[in-house]
């Protein structure tokens, strides 16, 4: 994935996630062939999930467990489809902590 394309995809993913969740405490970051999805709590950024490029415009998703391991979400699709899947399955984990 070329750097410019990856940055564009990360930016688009962030926009979609923020729209779907109705909040701005989500940031995305390029990390190799992955797009990391992070929740912002106060000043901390907690990695919640990632999308991995499987082929041109096709992504797989995984979430980070409490032990730090990556567990796959058993589906793949376009950036739009994966944004929807991540929000549907991981919405509580993507919400900012309110304590």
Q: What's the pLDDT tens digit per position in 13-48? A: 999 999 999 999 999 999 998 999 999 988 889 999
The whole-number pLDDT of residue 91 equals: 92
Which pTM value belongs to this model? Answer: 0.89
Tell me how many degrees the CA angle 83-88-92 measures, rounded to the nearest 5: 110
* Rounded CA separation 25/63 (Å): 17
**pLDDT of 3 above 70:** no
**pLDDT, position 97:** 73
Please give the pLDDT value at position 17: 97
Burial of 51 (0-12, 13-18, 19+ CB in 10 A): buried
Query: How far apart (Å, rounded) are the C-alpha atoms in residues 32 and 96?
Result: 26
Confidence of residue 74 (pLDDT cuts 50, 70, 90): confident
For residue 99, pLDDT over 60 is answered with no
**Nearest Cα to Cα of residue 70 among 52, 83, 82, 57:** 52
Mean pLDDT of the chain: 90
- Using left for φ > 0, alpha for ψ between -120 and 50, and beta otherwise, residue 94 falls in alpha
Joined together, the tokens standing for residue 50 give: 């990632």
Share of the chain above pLDDT 70, in %: 94
């Amino acid at each position: 994935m070329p750097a410019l394309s990856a940055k564009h995809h990360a930016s688009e993913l962030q926009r979609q996630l923020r729209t779907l969740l109705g909040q701005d405490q989500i940031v995305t970051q390029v990390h190799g062939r992955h797009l990391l999805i992070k929740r912002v709590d106060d000043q901390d950024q907690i990695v919640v999930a990632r999308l991995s490029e499987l082929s041109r415009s096709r992504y797989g998703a995984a979430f980070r467990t409490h032990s730090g391991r990556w567990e796959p979400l058993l589906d793949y699709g376009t950036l739009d489809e994966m944004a929807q899947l991540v929000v549907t399955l991981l919405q509580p984990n993507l919400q900012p902590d309110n304590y």
